[in-house]
């Protein structure tokens, strides 16, 4: 068994990790990971909210034997936390989501996988072994795209879908606009290659082709959905984040029931993006 590389003693905190990442990433990637929408007020408030929490230590309690694990999906999760789904992890490291799956398996943590990952859900499942994983899902207006993804996740042993419900519209990410963000070659949005051509698989943000000199890729660009005042026209063209992820038609009455039917008894349905107590009660 090969010995592990020594841990970098200059990277022991989250702040130090951010410093190292900033030094190693290109500007486009660094801005993508760091930015919130518009003025960044929500991102700032989220960070400040965590700073309000305090640990209130109690004393004279026997703590010689501690078990921080919690039951989840029939599995003992080592701590009451999981790894949240984040898109396009190959931007940060060539192994991307595969490396995250290996780390979760080693640490005994449930992993969340983004639909817009740069490795397929099947490859991530293989790297996870028996460790549970869940799939983050955008429910597209054309449900067949989502149905096929759910069936693949079910076959690959995913325990739940996390439905993102807070993107009826996308916030304006100014740095992505300024940087004209595109997923660099050779990376691709791996879970949608069967639904689209090579251009779409490499296209993420604006539906723009990854190579502006390629006329064939230009013709394959995506179009967001729109409402002409009388009827709603769903997105068209290859799947991209900006064109297909936002879905203003989602509602409790029709979509949650359909999703539970598709997932069946094999996968739970969780909703991701609840921000009010009223919606928490509905969920």
Residues 146-205 pLDDT 10s: 999 999 999 999 999 999 999 998 889 999 999 999 889 899 999 997 654 444 444 444
The pLDDT assigned to 214 comes to: 52
Q: Average the pLDDT over each of 4-13, 32-41, 213-222 and give the range with the smallest value.
A: 213-222
Q: State both tokens at 263.
A: 């997932």
Instruction: State the Cα–Cα distance between residues 35 and 129, nearest whole angstrom.
Output: 33
The pLDDT assigned to 194 comes to: 62
8 Å CB contact between 38 and 172: yes
Q: How many residues does the chain have?
A: 283
Q: pTM for this structure?
A: 0.86
Q: State both tokens at 31.
A: 């801005």
Choice between 232 and 39, residue whose per-residue pLDDT is larger = 39
Cross-strand bridge partners of residue 269: 161
Instruction: Name the band, by pLDDT with cuts 50, 70 and 90, for residue 241.
Output: confident
Reduce the secondary structure of 133-168 to three states and give it as a string.
EEEEECCCCCHHHHHHHHHHHHHCCCCEEEEECCCC
Average pLDDT of 126-144?
Answer: 95
Cross-strand bridge partners of residue 271: 163
Indicate if the alpha-carbon torsion angle 185, 186, 192, 197 is positive or negative: positive
Instruction: Name the band, by pLDDT with cuts 50, 70 and 90, for residue 209.
Output: very low
Give the closest residue to 191 by CA, choosing from 244, 231, 233.
244
Instruction: Name the band, by pLDDT with cuts 50, 70 and 90, for residue 123.
Output: very high
Choice between 117 and 193, residue whose per-residue pLDDT is larger = 117
The pLDDT assigned to 200 comes to: 44
Residue 267 has pLDDT above 70, yes or no: yes
- The DSSP output letter for 226 is E
Share of the chain above pLDDT 90, in %: 66
8 Å CB contact between 238 and 244: no
Give the closest residue to 262 by CA, choosing from 156, 151, 175, 100.
151
pLDDT tens digit string along 55-80?
A: 999 999 999 999 999 999 999 999 99
Instruction: State the Cα–Cα distance between residues 86 and 78, nearest whole angstrom.
Output: 21
CA 283-167-137 angle, 5° bins: 70
Instruction: Name the band, by pLDDT with cuts 50, 70 and 90, for residue 210.
Output: very low
- Contact residues for 111 (Cβ-Cβ < 8 A; gap 6+): 82, 83, 100, 101, 104, 124, 128, 131, 132, 133, 134
């Amino acid at each position: 068994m090969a010995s592990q590389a020594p841990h970098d003693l200059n990277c022991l905190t989250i702040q130090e990790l951010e410093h190292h990442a900033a030094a190693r990433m290109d500007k486009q990637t660094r801005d993508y990971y760091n930015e919130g929408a518009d003025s960044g007020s929500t991102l700032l408030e989220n960070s400040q909210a965590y700073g309000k929490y305090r640990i209130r230590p109690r004393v004279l309690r026997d703590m010689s034997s501690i078990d921080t694990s919690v039951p989840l999906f029939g599995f003992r999760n080592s701590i009451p936390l999981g790894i949240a789904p984040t898109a396009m992890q190959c931007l940060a490291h060539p192994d991307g989501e595969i490396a995250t799956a290996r780390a979760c398996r080693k640490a005994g943590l449930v992993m969340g996988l983004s639909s817009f990952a740069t490795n397929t859900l099947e490859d991530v499942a293989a790297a996870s072994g028996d460790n549970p994983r869940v799939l983050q899902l955008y429910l597209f207006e054309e449900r067949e795209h989502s149905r096929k993804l759910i069936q693949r996740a079910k076959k690959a042993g995913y325990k739940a879908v996390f439905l993102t419900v807070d993107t009826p519209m996308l916030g304006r990410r100014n740095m992505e606009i300024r940087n004209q963000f595109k997923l660099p070659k050779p990376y691709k949005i791996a879970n949608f290659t069967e639904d689209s051509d090579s251009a779409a698989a490499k296209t993420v943000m604006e539906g723009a082709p990854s190579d502006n000199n390629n006329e064939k890729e230009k013709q394959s660009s995506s179009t967001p959905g729109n409402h002409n005042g009388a009827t709603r026209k769903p997105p068209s063209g290859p799947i991209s984040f900006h064109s297909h992820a936002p879905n203003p038609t989602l509602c409790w009455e029709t979509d949650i029931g359909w999703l539970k039917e598709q997932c069946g008894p094999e996968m739970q349905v969780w909703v991701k993006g609840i921000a009010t107590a009223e919606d928490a009660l509905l969920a």
